[in-house]
Amino acid sequence: MADFYPILARAVAGLSETSPEARRAIYDRARAALVSQLRGLDPPLSEAEIMRERLSLDEAVARIEADYDEAPAPPPAAGGPVIRTVENPTLPIRPPTPKKAPEFAPLPAAAGEDDGEPLPEPAEPQAARPRVLPPRERRVKPGHIRSAVVGGVVAVAVAAIAATAIYVHKLRPQDTPRPNSETASQPAQAPQSDNGGKIAERVGEPGAPPQNRPAGSQPNNAPGIPVPQPGGEVAVAQRAVLFVEVPETPQQPQTTSGRVFWRLDSESAGQGRPIETIVRATVEIPDVGLSLDFTIRRNTDSAFPASHIIGLRFTSTGDPATQTVKEVGVPQFKSEEGERGAPLSAINSALGDNLFVAALSNVPVEVERNTDLILSRSWIDVPVRFASGRRGIITFEKGVSGSQTLADAFGRWR
C-alpha cells in the first residue's frame, strides 16, 4: 500500500486556515480522487484492493488529526477588567484643588502700550483644512494570491495521492531485469576515501583508479571497462559510491565502492497503454549487498500533474532489520563528485519499504530547470535512511554512457 501521509500532511500544512472544516474538505477531495482513479484502472482493481488503499488513506487522515488533537488549545481570551465605582461614605469628598499656574518672567511691554493704543484683537483660530490624498491604485490583496497558490498546491497534492496509488499497482518487481552473471561479479577494489566529509553536506573525494588485480580476476568489473550485455549491446560500467554515516566519527563516513550501468529500456505504463522509452540505471554495491534500480520515464497520464516520474527500487541481501531503506530524499544532481548537489523540483512518495517514486514538477520554469540539471550535471546523489536509523548517500556518475542515454531519451520525448 502507498503511504499517503507525507502528501496529505503537506496539503493540509499549506492551508491558510487549518480549521477542522478546511481539513475535512481536503480529506473528502482526496478520497473522491483516489477512488475515482482506482476504479478507472485497466485492468480494474478488486473492491478489496480499493478498500485497502482507502483504509491506508484513512489511516493517514487519522495520523494528521491526532497531531492537531495533541496540539495545546489556545487559552480562552480573558475578559477586560471591570471598573466599578465604589462609594466610601467614611471618606469626605473634597473639591479638587486648582492647579497653580506656572510662574513666568514678566514680558517686556509691547510696542505702543505706553501710547494707550488698544492692542489688535487676536485672530480667531481656523479649522485645519483636511488634506486631500490622491486616489490610490487598487491592488490585489496578498491573501488572494496566497489562496490561489495554496489552491494549486492542494490540487497537485490531491492528484498526487491518486497517482501514487496507481503507480504502486503498476510497479511490479518483475519489471526490473536482473543483470547477467558476468556483470554481477565482484566490484573493483577501489581504496576508500580518507576525507569523506559530512553525509548531508559533502561526499568523498573521487576514488582512486582500481589497483592491479591478480590473475584470474574479472577485468570487466572495473568502472569504465565495456561489459557484454544480452542482445549484443556493450554497456560501460561507471563509478558508484555508498557513503554511510558512522556515529563515532561523523566526519569519516564508511565508504564502499560500486558501479552503475546505464541503458535505454522500453516499458508500458499499464495495460492498453503504448510502449514508452525509459532510462534505467542499475547501481550495484556488491560489498554490502545493496543495489538500486533507478528509472526515469516521461509522464503520459494527463490526470497526474508531473512532467516525469523517477522510480527508485532498492534490493538488499543484508539484514532487513538494518539494511532496509525506509526513506529517500529527492535526487540531487551535481557537476563534481565532491560537491553538494542541487535537488530536483519534485515531490517524493514512499510506496513501501525499498520502493519510492519522485514526481517531477510540471511547472514550465521548473521543468526547464529539472531538464538542465539532469542533462548537464555529471553526478547524481540519492540520500537514504536505513532501518537502523543511519543515514547514507548513494552517489553515481553518468559518464559517457549515462550522458548519451539521457540525451537520447529526452530527444525522443520532445
The answer to whether the pTM exceeds 0.85 is no
**Those residues with Cβ within 8 angstroms of residue 187's Cβ, 6 or more apart along the chain or in another chain:** 221, 257, 258, 259, 284, 285, 286, 287
Q: In the prediction, which pLDDT does 331 show? A: 96
Q: Which long-range contacts (CB under 8 A, 24 or more apart) does 263-266 make?
A: 263/229, 263/233, 263/235, 263/401, 263/405, 264/405, 264/408, 264/409, 265/177, 265/295
Asked whether 277 and 269 are in contact (CB, 8 A), the reply is no
Asked whether 314 and 290 are in contact (CB, 8 A), the reply is yes
Cell triple for 201: 553536506
Instruction: Supply φ then ψ for residue 193, to 5 degrees.
Output: -75, 140
Q: What is d(CA 414, CA 404) in angstroms, rounded to the nearest whole number?
A: 16
Q: In the prediction, which pLDDT does 28 show? A: 83
Q: In the prediction, which pLDDT does 63 show? A: 87
- 132 against 180, higher pLDDT: 132
Q: In the prediction, which pLDDT does 403 show? A: 96
Instruction: Supply φ then ψ for residue 254, to 5 degrees.
Output: -75, 130
- 414 against 238, higher pLDDT: 238
Residue type, 386: F
- 407 against 154, higher pLDDT: 407
In the chain, where are the structural domains located? 5-67+144-168, 174-206+225-413
Asked whether 345 and 331 are in contact (CB, 8 A), the reply is no
Q: In the prediction, which pLDDT does 379 show? A: 97
Q: What is d(CA 350, CA 385) in angstroms, rounded to the nearest whole number?
A: 12
Q: Is the pLDDT of residue 261 over 80?
A: yes
216-239 mean pLDDT:
54
Quick: pLDDT tens for 169-198.
555 444 444 444 344 333 333 333 333 333
Quick: pLDDT tens for 15-49.
777 888 888 888 888 877 777 777 766 666 777 77
